[in-house]
Amino acid sequence: MRIGIVCPYSFDVPGGVQNHVMDLAEALLGLGHEVSVLAPADEDATLPPYVVPAGRAVPLPYNGSVARIALFGPVSTTRVRRWITRGDFDVLHVHEPLIPSLSMMAVLSARGPVVATFHTAITRSRVLAAAQGMLQILLERITARIAVSALARKVQVEHLDGGAVEIPNGVAVAKFAGVEPLPGWPGECATGTGGTLGFLGRFTEARKGFPILRDAFVALAPHRPGLRLLVAGPGDPDDLFGQFPVEVRDRVTFLGLVSEVDKARMLRSVDLYVAPNTGGESFGMILTEALAAGATVVASDLDAFRRVLDGGRAGRLFPTGDAAGLRTALAELLDDPAQRAALTACGDQVVAHYDWPVVARRVLEVYAAAIEATDGRVIDQEWVGLGGPG
């Protein structure tokens, strides 16, 4: 099968959707299919061989964060159409098509079956409001929809006049389980004295909840002289260390932006991976990655996280936004290796359902249904819009 996949977000900056697209592409390639991915990226960027760069992206506020996307215009539209024509794809798979970026352009330019994956669970945004004029045209051109979570699917049913097949984000289990920890990590998790906590993400982004983890760590540190915190993600080291009292700064290690390999090694280096997010999550990909790496997960009691962690069987949940509740959960788990082992064992069972070869086969079933539904028909109608033909 010839498959074209479109990512709206820049490959110059790592992110959950970008990782999803790359892992899906590699899983499909591993199953013997031909795959090409179109994504915003500089022409000289180092990219996997299956990725076609579509030019530089610009920042756009979205879902409490900043997304880097390729905006509408004649140059972007031409690139999308040329890629689709050259690819002669059996199916086109776009991600987040309601964002005014490459995915939306690809849907409007497609002439065959289109599968769309929706990652977010928001119901209102300035981006969605800006796209209202094209919304009906877009939805009519999408042959089949995938939602990565029950929350994302709920948005489809309640706000976009249709359903979606729920297929979760995948995780390359072998990639995380087979790596070595970082040198010198994890530290000794002696009862009452040590342990290593981990956080990965934008520590300056409010919805990631890093201040909640910071407060819990600062409260625990005086009573646990061996406790350490390992942080990875974008940001200025001075901004990170400035949040901590001087007496505990030497127990915080900042890795900065890490490669996919070093992300896996980082997750293998912690006793407890902490996800203190406060909202805006439709799934929780980092949780499945931490589970695959063998870390015990402690996470906010968000609905999306609760679903991934099987209601708390595969990880410890604490009240969202409650630093004291997080501190209690961390102290109990650090002092209870048997409980950590039980959570990790359940996590191994849960994450097996998210392994990419398993997930990719479910996606292929949707492709086959979309191809059958179109029955070789070609869409001939042109569209008039931002950067489109008039």
What is the per-residue pLDDT across 39-66, written as a single tens digit (0 to 9) for each?
A: 988 777 788 999 998 877 665 655 555 5
- Examine the pLDDT at 130 and tell me if it is beyond 60: no
- Examine the pLDDT at 341 and tell me if it is beyond 70: yes
At residue 385, the pLDDT reads 41
Amino acid identity for residue 322 in this structure = D
Question: Which residues is 6 bridged to in the sheet?
Answer: 38, 94
- What average pLDDT does the segment 354-360 reach? 95
At 319 the three-state DSSP class reads coil
Q: How confident is the model at residue 10 (pLDDT cuts 50, 70, 90)?
A: confident
- What average pLDDT does the segment 162-186 reach? 88
Residue 89 makes CB contacts below 8 A (sequence gap 6+) with: 2, 3, 4, 36, 112
- Examine the pLDDT at 386 and tell me if it is beyond 50: no
- What average pLDDT does the segment 345-358 reach? 95
At residue 191, the pLDDT reads 61
Q: How far apart are CA 164 and CA 156, in angstroms?
A: 7
- What average pLDDT does the segment 20-37 reach? 96
User: Are the CB atoms for 173 and 351 separated by under 8 Å?
Assistant: yes
Q: Could you please report the per-residue DSSP string of 174-221?
A: HHHHTSPPPTT-S----TTTEEEEEEES-TTSGGG-HHHHHHHHHHHG
Question: Residue 60: which H helix or E strand, with range?
Answer: strand 58-62
Q: How confident is the model at residue 33 (pLDDT cuts 50, 70, 90)?
A: very high
At residue 68, the pLDDT reads 63
Mean pLDDT of the chain: 87
User: Any idea what DSSP says for residue 38?
Assistant: E
Q: What confidence tens digit (pLDDT) does each residue in 97-120 have?
A: 888 789 989 999 998 999 999 987
Tokens of 375: 């029955």
At 101 the three-state DSSP class reads coil
At 114 the three-state DSSP class reads strand
At residue 335, the pLDDT reads 93
Amino acid identity for residue 109 in this structure = S
Phi, psi of 23 (to 5 degrees): -65, -40
Residue 236 makes CB contacts below 8 A (sequence gap 6+) with: none
At residue 154, the pLDDT reads 77
- What average pLDDT does the segment 270-285 reach? 90
- Examine the pLDDT at 150 and tell me if it is beyond 60: yes
At residue 12, the pLDDT reads 75
Of 208, 247, 245, give the one whose Cα is nearest residue 225.
Answer: 247
Tokens of 353: 């359902």
Instruction: Name the CA radius of gyration of the chain, rounded.
Output: 22
Where do the domains of the chain lie, and which CATH numbers do they carry? 2-170+355-374 (3.40.50.2000), 173-352 (3.40.50.2000)
At residue 23, the pLDDT reads 93
Structure-model confidence comparison of residues 258 and 46, the more confident one: 258
At residue 376, the pLDDT reads 59
At residue 27, the pLDDT reads 96
- Examine the pLDDT at 380 and tell me if it is beyond 60: no
At residue 375, the pLDDT reads 79
Count the neighbouring beta carbons within 10 Å of the beta carbon of residue 283.
25
Residue position matching structure tokens 């595969």: 314
Sign of CA dihedral 314, 320, 325, 326: positive
Q: Could you please report the per-residue DSSP string of 325-369?
A: HHHHHHHHHHT-HHHHHHHHHHHHHHHHTTBHHHHHHHHHHHHHH
Structure-model confidence comparison of residues 130 and 265, the more confident one: 265
Q: How far apart are CA 270 and CA 181, in angstroms?
A: 9
At residue 71, the pLDDT reads 64
- What average pLDDT does the segment 116-135 reach? 65
- Examine the pLDDT at 222 and tell me if it is beyond 70: yes
Provide the strand spans (E) within 239-302: 252-254, 272-275, 296-300
- Examine the pLDDT at 76 and tell me if it is beyond 50: yes
- Examine the pLDDT at 75 and tell me if it is beyond 80: no
Amino acid identity for residue 301 in this structure = D
- What average pLDDT does the segment 142-155 reach? 85
Give the C-alpha distances (Å, rounded to integers) separating 280 from 66, 103, 227, 302. 13, 21, 30, 9
Instruction: Determine if the peptide bond prior to 186 is cis (ω within 30°).
Output: yes
User: Any idea what DSSP says for residue 295?
Assistant: P
User: Are the CB atoms for 36 and 94 separated by under 8 Å?
Assistant: no
Q: What is the pairing mode between strands 114-118 and 91-95?
A: parallel
* Degrees, nearest 5: CA angle 222-236-321: 55
